[in-house]
Amino acid sequence: MTSMVARIRARARELGFDAVAFARADVPLDADYERYRAFLARGAEGEMRYLAEAPEARRALDGEAILPGARTVVCVARRSARPHDEEAREPALVRDIARYARGRDYHVYLRRRVYLLGKFVRLAAPGHKARAVLDTAPLLERAWAARAGLGFVGKNGLVIVPGQGSFCLLGEVVTTLALDAADYGAPIGERCGSCTACLDACPTSAFDAPFVLDPRRCVSYRTIERRQVPTEEEPAHALFGCDACQDVCPYNRVASMPAPATEAFAPHERWRSLRLAELVRVDGAAHEKLTESSPLRRASPAVLAHNALGVAARRLARDPSDPEAREAIEAGCAHEDAALRATATRFAAELGVESSLSRRSPEEAAR
């Protein structure tokens, strides 16, 4: 099957994936599955209810939930970080968005490529089935990537791909095709040593221990997954997602990828001129237009507005004269949503922001 493996690798590279590895799909996960069960027992999934769905299906891939008779999982990774000099020139608002979410929605962009890889496997191995997966099935993708030797899991829980770092998006093709034993990868093993840079850098101290994250305290969870606007909480650390634990990882000091290879992750042009106040005021129709072809659509208009207020508050804490931040807080103080208005008013009071809007009702401010 070595020639088949070479063909699959070559096709994956043609489709733009930066790393490819193979693992047995019919051998259940043990330690990783137990960690997943412990995660659920703590209630750490919070509002991410989907993580608790079909728990038994997450142990192996050869059952009804994924693909009956599965023998192999092809694990792929696509790097999302762009050239360092390009990222450094981006506007502040862009840098408040996680790297993977600044450009095109990877659910569309990469899913098609994973599906094409699955189609290639079916055509290359007649009589065999293949199912492409990208955030579409109850599958512990980091555990399978580690088993395949695609990378190793760092102390922040993310897969670190040798030569690529952790700014990677993962995908899988599960197939009934069996490979020779020598074609399957082997776990690399953890290589973090005594380094705790990622744990120390977390702005909300979301790690209970190395490899143990409480998502409910994670900035990514707080700015993306929650459906309701919190009434009492410190300002958001970012607009959407968080890269803090990855920014400091030594394995991410890899050479910059050439711009064409990461073009899909370049910021939408709309982000370059967008102001925080516009995000605070965004309503349903404007939200649809603003988040078109963007992962930011996952955050509701109210949550996105709340995140923008948080970013504005943190900017004002550093520079009380920041005009864009003041404009956003003023917009929040006049917001028709009571929760957002209360949040903005609280931030204004805590930061000593004097605004005529903060002392007027929404009806008065609208006139």
Q: How far apart are CA 168 and CA 28, in angstroms?
A: 25
Contact between 26 and 175 under an 8 Å Cβ cutoff? The reply is no
Instruction: Spell out the residues 6+ positions from residue 338 whose beta carbon is closer than 8 angstroms to its own.
Output: none
- The closest of 143, 138, 114 to 35, measured between CA atoms, is 143
Helix (H) or strand (E) holding 39: helix 31-41
Which of the 8 DSSP states describes residue 243?
-
Q: DSSP string of 292-356?
A: TTSGGGGS-HHHHHHHHHHHHHHHHHH-TT-HHHHHHHHHHHT-SSHHHHHHHHHHHHHHT---T
The 10 Å Cβ neighbour count of residue 149 is 19
**How far is Cα of residue 48 from the mean position of the Cα atoms in its chain?**
13
Evaluated on CA atoms 306, 337, 344, 346, the torsion sign reads: negative
What are the backbone angles phi and psi of residue 277, rounded to the nearest 5°?
-60, -35
From the candidates 26, 32, 135, 214, which is the catalytic residue? 135
135 is catalytic: yes
Q: 31-41 and 141-148 are packed helices; what angle lies between their axes, rounded to 10 degrees?
A: 160
Positions annotated as catalytic residues are 135
